[in-house]
Amino acid sequence: MTDKMTKSERTELGQLIRKRERVMKSMVVERSSAMLAEFDLQLSSIYSYDDDETWKKAHDEAERVIEESNELIAKRCAEMGIPKEFAPSIRMGWFERGENAVKARRTELRQAAKSKIAALEKQAYAKIERMSLEAQTEVIANGLESAAARQFLEKMPTIEAMMPTLNAVEMKQIQDAKHIKQDFDF
């Protein structure tokens, strides 16, 4: 029994890895569409006061208080000689949608959701491609026989080597140097 994969095993595994990558990317697009549809559903939700026992109780109590208040107002208007059709009154409303009742706000929220979903989609794509590359590298590395080939693979740069971490102190020094230069430029 050997601990190395055969060439045909490596070929088949490579094909499978690439197929999985394509399918996972399709699944990302599908998930993005579902996320936007779910967001739209949340955004278009309408809530009636009688959907919830607490809301109903608060609504009914407010209606009762308004009715009593309107009776007091009507009585005072009669004393003052104000005709019923001109008399002021208190009205109550139930706002079923909150701030998303305003079209401009819905548009703004939907655009923000689309931007967030697009960012998540890009992150998912990058992760899928990274996983695919790691799997393909492992499969290929398993078949490498020469020391030169293994050494070549080990010397390939990582993303961390190509894009090192930012240092806040260095960034401050760069910005300070720019400001000093700008102060002396005429």
C-alpha separations of 65 from 7, 76, 102, 183 in Å: 83, 17, 29, 67
∠77-81-84 over CA atoms, to 5°?
55
Is 136 exposed, middle or buried, given 0-12, 13-18 or 19+ CB atoms closer than 10 A? Answer: middle
Segment 122-181, tens digit of pLDDT: 999 999 999 999 999 999 999 888 999 989 998 998 888 888 888 899 888 888 888 877
Whether 178 maps to a domain, the answer reads no
Q: Residue 43: which domain range?
A: 7-160
176 in any annotated domain: no
Has residue 131 been placed in a domain? yes
| Res 85 pLDDT > 70 | yes
70 within domain boundaries = yes
Contact assessment for residue 24 and residue 128, using Cβ atoms and an 8 Å cutoff: yes
Looking at residue 182, its pLDDT comes to 72
Where residue 1 falls among pLDDT bands split at 50, 70, 90?
very low
pLDDT in tens, 8-23: 999 999 999 999 999 9
pLDDT tens digits along 99-128: 888 899 999 999 999 999 999 999 999 999
Could you tell me if residue 112 is inside a domain? yes
Would you say the pTM of this structure is higher than 0.75?
Answer: no
Q: Is residue 36 part of a domain?
A: yes
Choose among 66, 125, 118, 123: nearest CA to 91.
66
pLDDT of residue 185: 64
Question: Are 39 and 110 in contact, with CB atoms under 8 Å apart?
Answer: yes
Residues 92/66, Cβ–Cβ less than 8 Å: yes
90 belongs to a structural domain? yes
Contact indicator for 90, 73 with CB cutoff of 8 Å: yes
Indicate whether 95 belongs to any domain: yes
Sign of CA dihedral 33, 34, 40, 43: negative
- pLDDT value for 111: 95
